Structure 1
Amino acid sequence: MTPAYVVFENEHRIAAGDLPEVARTAKQLLDQRKDATVLVFNGRTSALVDIDFRGSVDDVLARLPKPARPLDEEPAVPAAPRGPGRPKLGVVAREITLLPRHWDWLAQQKGGASVAIRKLVDEARRASGDKDRTRAAQDAAYRFMTTMAGNRPNYEEAIRALFAHDRRRFTALIADWPADIRDHAIQLAYSDQAD
């Protein structure tokens, strides 16, 4: 399972876990070694997390960005004002734009347009779930590798192998990279697959 956040100091992974945990570890390292440089990554997307490391550990922790709601988590029900939709059920009214033929088809569906659209979305999510997870894993690995290994030998060929779904070639091409970078890239790229 991929940790929520990961912090690297040069080519070494020094911490993984929730944001306060990795920020604390990074801050302690920065306090010990003034020449150290750290990068904090979102563990799932490999987006860099901007952390202001000025001040004490408590100062750093107080300024941490609030974590975003995971895509799978239902949004909190708004307290007020009540508008269209069914807030107690988590149903939120939003606007969509369709052509007249789409509206005509939806009007003929059992349960109405909203029920039909929800069914279509759920069906599409089930049908493309594996592809979406694979693409998200590849994108995360690509972002991480670009940041941490863009100047490493075989970088471009490894990216090609990653997007060609050639796991054997990918792992062979990055075999000589520093262990923490190599292992994290593999973990990101194939987090959606069993070994």
Structure 2
Amino acid sequence: MKLACRCGQVEGRIDPQRAYVRASCYCRDCRAFARWLGGAELLDTAGGSDIVAMAPDGLHITRGFEKLACMSLGPHGLLRWYASCCRTPLGNIPRDAKLYYLGVPVAAIAEPADAIEASFGPAGRIAVNTASATAAVASPPLRRLAGILRIAAGLFAARLRGRRNKLLFDADGLPLREPLVLGRTQRETLSADP
């Protein structure tokens, strides 16, 4: 499946076979990141981000790698990657390269909605961090547990195989781009709900 930023300067491919689960995340940090990008349209009506959780080796950037930029909402937060040309979110990863995880915003997948659903499942089927949602969100506990277990199983299997996230890290385990780290005041302003 094709990944692309809004202006088309960054492109890539996603292997659906490397996906763990599709989920909507309602945490304040995902909402703050969308606001920082200036993309309120990246959030659903309850303030959630539609994400495909996957193994990092399932994403390949084929064009515009020099346009990738990185930010973090704090000194210990996730590394959130975006296209510097048009501020399209492209993915988030833990700071530790040993955690074999990549969250790709569905907004960056340049395919028709029905093709995305056929590959990754329907939007909103699994909801996480619903306590931070801006409106009521249905979150069937068994579905949520199944999704979390799929992600955990993928992380555990990668750890057993000694896999490291090499997609956006150098050989020393440092991010390929120096992240812009937001200060507390800016983070709190972006995280505040109206």
- Give the TM-score taking structure 2 as reference length: 0.23
**Higher RCO (CA-CA < 8 Å; seq separation 6+):** 2
Name whichever structure is richer in helix by fraction.
1
Name whichever structure is richer in strand by fraction.
2
